[in-house]
Amino acid sequence: MTAELSPMDKAKYAAARRSVDFVEDGMKLGLGTGSTAAWMVRCLAERVKTEGLKLTCVATSRRTAELATGLGIRVVPMDDVKWLDLTIDGADEFDPHLNLIKGGGAALLQEKIVATASDRMIVIADAAKEVAQLGAFPLPVEVIPFGWQTTKALIEETLYSLDVLNREVSLRLDRDKPLKTDEGHYILDLNLKRIGNPRQLALVLNQIPGVVENGLFIDICDIVVIGNGDGRVTVRDINSGMVEDVAIDVAQTVNIFADLGD
């Protein structure tokens, strides 16, 4: 790892490096999507190479599958394993109860399927992702293309009866066209500013016709690994109450991460 890495990248690396310590030989493992998850895949590949770990992995997106396969990690379809021992993924926000907003990378549907089909979920994040209350990050909602404007209008109408601070809904674009997920769906981003009752919002959104899934992950995450720019890492286990602080050496690592960006 070079000295040119920003504090943010060092934080992502530190969290990723600590998270793969939870991986054991023979595990069935879910691999998340996003910039922090990409660091984790690289760190995992190092362990596979140096320790000879035998893992069966399921990726939450095509780009994660391509990265992992290219690094020598075995990736199989979800239906081949059905259930996983552990999933490691990033998050756009997490609150004190380890409720999450995910979907900034447009892979929330597969991420939620994989995470809920795992005995444990570990979230890796830099310290900036921790919030007292969810909602500053726009909430992604995956919708089918057919009638998406009607679905958008229904969401906007529904938000007036819910405890949110703002009600702006926008279609996520890829240049000048609607962004399409791996499943061919669209993403609506809900700029809510504050979500007073995440559980209620998640349930209500999924009742709206046209909505496939929303980016609120409630009672799914078990452990969060929080990285800081100086290499310090905090591990919190929501089930046991354990809090662990460790230091990760980010200076002596081989520079195999230079091509990773946000």
Would you put residue 200 in left (φ > 0), alpha (ψ -120 to 50) or beta?
alpha
Q: Which of 24, 66, 111, 213 is catalytic?
A: 111
- In the residue annotation, 156 being an active-site residue is answered as no
CA distance 20 to 126: 16
Task: Return the percentage of the chain with pLDDT > 90, whole number.
Answer: 91
**pLDDT given for residue 254 in this prediction:** 44
115-126 per-position pLDDT tens digit: 999 999 999 999
203-229 per-position pLDDT tens digit: 999 999 999 999 999 999 999 999 999
Average pLDDT, the chain: 94
Average pLDDT over residues 117-138: 97
CATH annotation of 139-214: 3.30.70.260
Residues of the chain with CATH 3.30.70.260: 139-214
pLDDT for residue 1 is more than 70: no
pLDDT for residue 251 is more than 90: no
**pLDDT given for residue 249 in this prediction:** 84
CA distance 37 to 16: 7
More reliable by pLDDT, 170 or 259 = 170
225-249 per-position pLDDT tens digit: 999 999 999 999 999 999 999 989 8
Question: How would residue 253 be classed by pLDDT, with cut points 50, 70 and 90?
Answer: low
Instruction: Name, in order, each residue with C-beta under 8 angstroms of 33's C-beta and a sequence gap of 6 or more.
Output: 59, 60, 61, 63, 64, 89, 90, 105, 107, 110, 111
- Where is average pLDDT lowest: 5-9, 18-22, 86-90, 109-113? 5-9
Residues of the chain with CATH 3.40.50.1360: 7-129+219-247
List the beta bridge partners of residue 232. 247
8 A C-beta contact, residue 41 and residue 50: no
pLDDT for residue 260 is more than 50: no
Q: What's the CATH fold of domain 7-129+219-247? A: Rossmann fold (3.40.50)
Tokens read off for 96: 């004190």
pTM of the full structure: 0.93
